[in-house]
Amino acid sequence: MGRRSERVMTIIEPVQEEFERKRGVTGIAVEEGLVHVELQVPTNLKERLNVFKALAEAGVSLFLIKFHPDSIHFLIRREVLNKAQKVLQRLNRPTKVTRDCVLISVLSSAMRDLPGVMARVAEALYEQGVDLLETGDSHDSVMILVRKIDSEKVVNALRQKFGL
């Protein structure tokens, strides 16, 4: 089975009827089958480099990477978890692994021109009382990572918030 077929990705995006896409939030993408890793590593970049090198050598690709004062966090796909776990055991650092995570991305063609999206996402999560594992953003999305068990209610809350 190829890697593409193992992924579960849903995009909720209303049909575009006008010539140029409407500004503002245009859709929500939901990606399942992700694992969140929190690894305690001091701020020292050289120590952090060793972690990234070890994972790279094992062929594990990472995303939603975040540097925190005493740890680094990242996401991996479920299908490389075994490979990653061998590396993490070898590194022998305190590690927290959360399986069955879902990455929910609020999409817009120009997020940097759109104030208030992060506020409405934070409001939706706060109102639902959902434990947020990670946040991130890019020019075309605001990303939130939640447990699978919470994902449906978060997606519904976001759809309501953004009228999708």
The alpha carbon of residue 157 and the mean position of all alpha carbons in its chain are separated, in whole angstroms, by 18
Q: Which of 96, 99, 139, 148 binds another protein (CB under 8 A)?
A: 139
User: What is the rounded distance in angstroms from the CA atom of residue 52 to the CA atom of residue 100?
Assistant: 22
Q: Which of 45, 86, 148, 152 binds another protein (CB under 8 A)?
A: 45
Strands 95-108 and 25-40: antiparallel
Q: Pull the structure tokens for residue 142.
A: 């605001």
Per-residue binding string, another protein, 63-102, x by CB under 8 A, is xxxxxxx-x-x-----------------------------
- Considering the complex, what minimum distance in angstroms separates the CB of residue 99 from another protein? 19
SS3 readout for 1-52:
CCHHHHCEEEEECCCCCCCCCCCCEEEEEEEEEEEEEEEECCCCHHHHHHHH
Comparing CB distances to another protein, the nearer of 68 and 148 is 68
Q: Which residues in this chain contact another protein in the complex, by CB under 8 A?
A: 3-4, 16, 18-23, 45-46, 48-49, 52-53, 55-69, 71, 73, 109-120, 122-123, 125-126, 132, 134-142
